[in-house]
Structure 1
Amino acid sequence: MKFLIFLGTVRDSSPSNPPRLGLRVARACLAQMHQDDVSAELIDPLDFDLEPIFKPHFAYAQGKAPAQLQSLAEKIAAADGYVMVSPEYNHSVSPALAHLLNHFGSSLFSYKPSAIVTYSAGQWGGVRAAVGMRSFLSELGCLPVSAMIHIPKAHEVLAEDGNSLEQIDAEKWMSYFSRTFTQLTWWASAAKNQRNEVDPHKLAPAFKRDPSQRNSPSENSE
């Protein structure tokens, strides 16, 4: 199975130290997942040169989307599940993560599971961002599993390479991560098997043309 790990930070300034604290969290997720018959790829928003004027992938004519967006769209469609790694900004999800994900329609993510991973330099571990991420990911169609990962004071927990700084706690952190990723891979396997049996997009066609496709029926609807 294939998974994408989305990193939700582009920060390179203080007061955070290190500035891209989430990178070590994403690397820890990558190490936990990329093994046996599971492959995982890190998606870093810094690798995408997004235009300041917002235009999502699905707004381009077929075959006309920028190469970076098209490549990522194909990876999203081919993946079996997703891991979303985010800090907390004003009790909400990272703007960098939301901005990147908003370039793609729910039809690419749908009928697959996701996992929420949050972190902070302080004591809360980004838990308030996770609350909003549940509804955000559900709208994308990649429903999050119930177990989540929250890492307070992540700079004291993980080294730059994603390994635990304290050897004595490494097994505890591995078990903590494993609970969430076990749920994720279980649901991903179940969803993949069912997609192979029945194409969900034929049962419920995706809304791709216009937001009004989501409207409820009314006398004035066309």
Structure 2
Amino acid sequence: MASSSGKALKFVLFLGTVRDNNMGSRAASFVMKKLKEKGHDATLLDPEVLGLPLLKKPLHFYEDRTQAPQVLQDTVKVIEAADVYMVITAEYNQCLPPALTNMMDHFPIPAYKYRPSGIVCYSMGSFGGIRAAIQARSLLGELGSPSLGCFVIPQIQNELSEDGTLKGENKERLEKNADKIITELAWLGDAIKSKKDSEGFPKL
């Protein structure tokens, strides 16, 4: 069952790193598989694939959005169509990766509002990127997309294969934690979607 009501939800995943040989693609592959197994639609926004420049002019700085680069026009439609967001982040110098914030800052706050979010943080060390996750919760909250919690993957190189398959000794625990956050996000995402479908978002 996709959600408590049996509806498939639209998840958008924001990948946070473009560094060579990064581990984020492993985490993204794992989460994408889990979402699809549960019957949800999942779209990955990868800053390297999008190829957005260093932020100079975000979408909302264009008086006429049809004059914005096509990649911004197309991507904002994906973001606005989502029911739930998930941020997949590493930790750079104990902070969020710049590729993540650069990508997300290209789009206005109203594009993100009224959708729940979750955080998948990871590292090759024992902390699992949790310091970046703390910052991600603040960012998502300011975007109007409150975070329900974090799915933490310490020593990701030992826990996930390149194709996103769990392989380590913590397989059972990680599987359970992933199921938990997806279930919680789907429950709240479904509730908000039902409200939106019946009444629309607040007009402020």
The alignment's TM-score, normalised by the length of structure 2, stands at 0.91
Counterpart-to-counterpart distance in 2, 1:177 and 1:51: 32
Counterpart-to-counterpart distance in 2, 1:73 and 1:174: 31
Matched to 1:154, the amino acid is: I
Counterpart-to-counterpart distance in 2, 1:53 and 1:164: 36
Give per-residue Cα distances to partners, 1:70-110, cap 9 Å, x unaligned: 11100000010111000112222111111100001110110
Equivalent runs, 1:40-189 vs 2, <5 Å: 40-52=42-54, 54-60=56-62, 61-145=64-148, 147-166=149-168, 169-189=170-190
> How far did residue 169 of structure 1 move?
4.1
Unaligned runs of 5+ in 1: 13-18, 205-222
Matched to 1:90, the amino acid is: N
Give per-residue Cα distances to partners, 1:13-55, cap 9 Å, x unaligned: xxxxxx2111101111111111343111111111122233521
The answer as to 2:14 corresponding to 1:6 is yes
Give per-residue Cα distances to partners, 1:188-214, cap 9 Å, x unaligned: 000101111222242x2xxxxxxxxxx
Range with bigger deviation, 83-92 or 29-38: 29-38
Counterpart-to-counterpart distance in 1, 2:118 and 2:47: 18
Unaligned runs of 5+ in 2: 1-8
Identity of aligned residues (%): 35
Counterpart-to-counterpart distance in 2, 1:140 and 1:52: 20
Equivalent runs, 1:197-212 vs 2, <5 Å: 197-202=198-203, 204=204
3-state SS, counterpart of residue 63 of structure 1: helix
Counterpart-to-counterpart distance in 2, 1:8 and 1:62: 25
Matched to 2:109, the amino acid is: S
Match of 2:196 in 1: 195
3-state SS, counterpart of residue 4 of structure 1: strand
Q: Judge conservation of contact 2:11–2:41 (CA < 8 Å) in 1.
A: yes
3-state SS, counterpart of residue 200 of structure 1: coil
Rg bigger for which structure?
Answer: 1
Q: Judge conservation of contact 2:159–2:171 (CA < 8 Å) in 1.
A: no
Counterpart-to-counterpart distance in 2, 1:126 and 1:62: 36
Matched to 1:91, the amino acid is: Q
The alignment's TM-score, normalised by the length of structure 1, stands at 0.84
Match of 1:208 in 2: none
> How far did residue 9 of structure 1 move?
0.4
Match of 2:33 in 1: 31
Task: Calculate the aligned-residue CA RMSD, in Å.
Answer: 1.4
3-state SS, counterpart of residue 104 of structure 1: coil
Counterpart-to-counterpart distance in 1, 2:50 and 2:39: 28
